Structure 1
């Protein structure tokens, strides 16, 4: 009898674990980043934060410039993502020893530290190219005002050469940048979220409306508007993560363990012997 109850409890626990695995599977699959690069990849870069070229994650952007220029791009990163920024610079055939650097700033223009990656590299005289990489910290849904944690919103990439000799100033170069993210999921979840993502990026657009008429001043000048980039599917609310799946799974397993323990320890339901005088 006891062996039969043990077998039943084992089957119940096995069925519950299988069901929880099937439920958590789609959540884990959905947490993987999906790159959807567009066909019209940018072929130029901005020269300041205000004119930074907007790119999507998973999109390869190119630009041409000169050594000594500052090249800027911007992208959107949401809570739970760990962005990786990669850049490749094609150098002229003849140049002196050069040092190239890639920096990443958040929507408040605070420089974000790289967890790892070759953020700065020095190449020898005559090298054909140099590759840089910066893996940022995981973007948090909420943080203390005094902290420098990466938060959801616009991020800026700045690529430039530092400590250039005068002889190399103005030499033509070609640049390629790409941003990919790894979705960390519930491991990076926090109890809180921003009211609005940090998107103070500036993109200069024409002051004319779609029908060709002037809006606002009427003088046809260009006006500055908030950046329009955002992750695929919009910004997350900050409260949902796969942590809820595993929390629910833990609660169900605890309940099943209690039921199984009760089934194993309770008696058969009948007294072992008949009391005297019954």
Structure 2
């Protein structure tokens, strides 16, 4: 009875410890709750001018058919980003094919795990929707690998097939990014020294708008100001540590239980003298 009470108390403690880990690993969007969340109303035309956006918000832009539209967002280790784009097409147009591409901070094109990355819009269609679910962002990988790493990610939206008569027609686009927190199942033993956040502009250190005559030594690269709401993770902590601890506790309890069940009861058997 005493061992049963000990075992029940230990299992209850294990369940309480596992509860937060299970909750943390559940699918969740990552909207920004701050008032200054970035939901741009226009897009950039290149990597260097990509409009910065937060996860969980809708970025919109008006453009002409044939333009390249760029946005950027931050993704941290353990996240599996899902990029969705909706393009509202003009009233009259021929068949078109739109495509969404995602690049990491090193401008390496990232493959979509699943989703309609390229989709054709039939003649007269009012809109077209695209989706790209990336692989889970890793805290560290080999140099030869193209695994997604923490840092800035770029979204490029454009039409890849259209008739000349449709070139320049007005369209409007909406982009949304959410992430699923995968947790310890994707954890690795290692982390980057710095996230892949490249420089996106050059500005004057003095802040003077008229910088044509300033010495180039007073200028410096400005890093992207976009980052996760809770900052970049260190890469070493994950709920894998919690489950490892739970496994150790269960192994210890199994050892104690096995000893309690197999040890002898009463006085040990002795061989009589002279036998």
Aligned equivalent of 1:3: none
Tell me if 1:244 matches 2:241: yes
Q: Number of matched residues? A: 269
Matching of residues 1-278 of structure 1 within 5 Å: 7-32=1-26, 33=28, 34-36=30-32, 38=35, 41-202=39-200, 204=201, 207=204, 209=206, 218=214, 224-271=221-268
Structure 1: where are the runs of 5+ without partners?
A: 1-6
Q: TM-score, normalised by structure 1?
A: 0.88
Q: In the aligned structure 1, how far is the partner of 2:212 from the partner of 2:21? A: 47
Say whether the 8 Å CA contact 1:193–1:239 is kept in structure 2: yes
Tell me the distance in 2 between the aligned counterparts of 1:95 and 1:205. Answer: 40
Q: How far did 1:59 drift?
A: 1.1
- Alignment partners' CA distance in 2, 1:101 and 1:218: 42
Q: CA deviation at 1:207?
A: 3.0
For structure 2, the 5+ residue unaligned runs are none
Which range moved further: 221-230 or 75-84? 221-230
Q: How far does residue 11 in structure 1 lie from its aligned partner after superposition?
A: 3.1
1:79-115 CA-partner distances (Å, limit 9, x unpaired): 0000000000000000000000000000000000001
Are 1:99 and 1:120, in contact at CA under 8 Å, matched by a contact in 2?
yes
